[in-house]
Amino acid sequence: MSLFTFGKVKKFINRLVWAKNVLSSYKRTGLTRTLRTIHAVLRDLTHGQLSLQAMSLVYTTLLSLVPLLAVSFSMLKGLGVHNQIEPLMLNFLAPLGEKGVEITARVIGFVENVNVGVLGSLGIVFLLYTVISLIYKIETVFNFTWHRRY
């Protein structure tokens, strides 16, 4: 298919899907919305930016998990509840078998070695930073996905 023909097909599809007179019938409205959604998703997928935005959300989310866990464990140790977590973790990680036991032992060892004072204040600072960063990233990705500029 030549580039000239592809351009004509692309213009025809854009005119068919995005024309205002397409919304004249109630039955055609659902079809029109479906076609517009499919067209928008395919357009954004072919430009390759959606996967990049998704990767950035995953990275920021994983980055925010570390301070959250550190602050949570330091608070649990400060309250003296960290010893009661071991049976819960063993039950939760039971489907992993021996690896679940190993993971539980490492996490409990990490919690016992935590310096509550230092990690508590430093962890809260990093937690606040990553929470604000995550919220900003989510807003940016949604605005990009929906083609909104604010």
d(CA 40, CA 138): 20
Shared-domain flag, residues 34 and 58: no
**Same-domain pairing of 61 and 111:** yes
Q: What percent of the chain has pLDDT over 90?
A: 0
Say if CB 120 and CB 78 are below 8 A apart. Answer: yes
User: Into how many domains does the chain fold?
Assistant: 2
DSSP element (H, E) containing 81: none
- Sign of the Cα pseudo-torsion (19, 23, 29, 33, in order): positive
Whether 100 and 71 map to the same domain: the answer is yes
Q: Read off the pLDDT of residues 4-41 as tens digits, 9 standing for 90 and up.
A: 677 787 777 777 777 765 555 555 677 777 877 887 77
Task: Name the band, by pLDDT with cuts 50, 70 and 90, for residue 58.
Answer: confident
Examine the domain organization and report whether 65 and 82 are in the same domain.
Answer: yes
pLDDT, tens digit (0-9, with 9 covering 90-100), for 78-88: 777 767 777 88
Query: Do 54 and 18 share a structural domain?
Result: no
Examine the domain organization and report whether 93 and 68 are in the same domain. yes
Same domain, 16 and 56: no
Residues 87 and 148 in one domain: yes
pLDDT at residue 119, rounded to an integer: 63
The pLDDT, as a whole number, for residue 57 is 85
Q: Which domain holds residue 56?
A: 50-150
Prediction pTM value: 0.50
DSSP for 82-137 reads HHHHHHHHHHHTGGGTHHHHHHHHHHHHHHHT--HHHHHHHHHHHHHHHHHHHHHH
Q: For the chain, how many residues are written?
A: 150
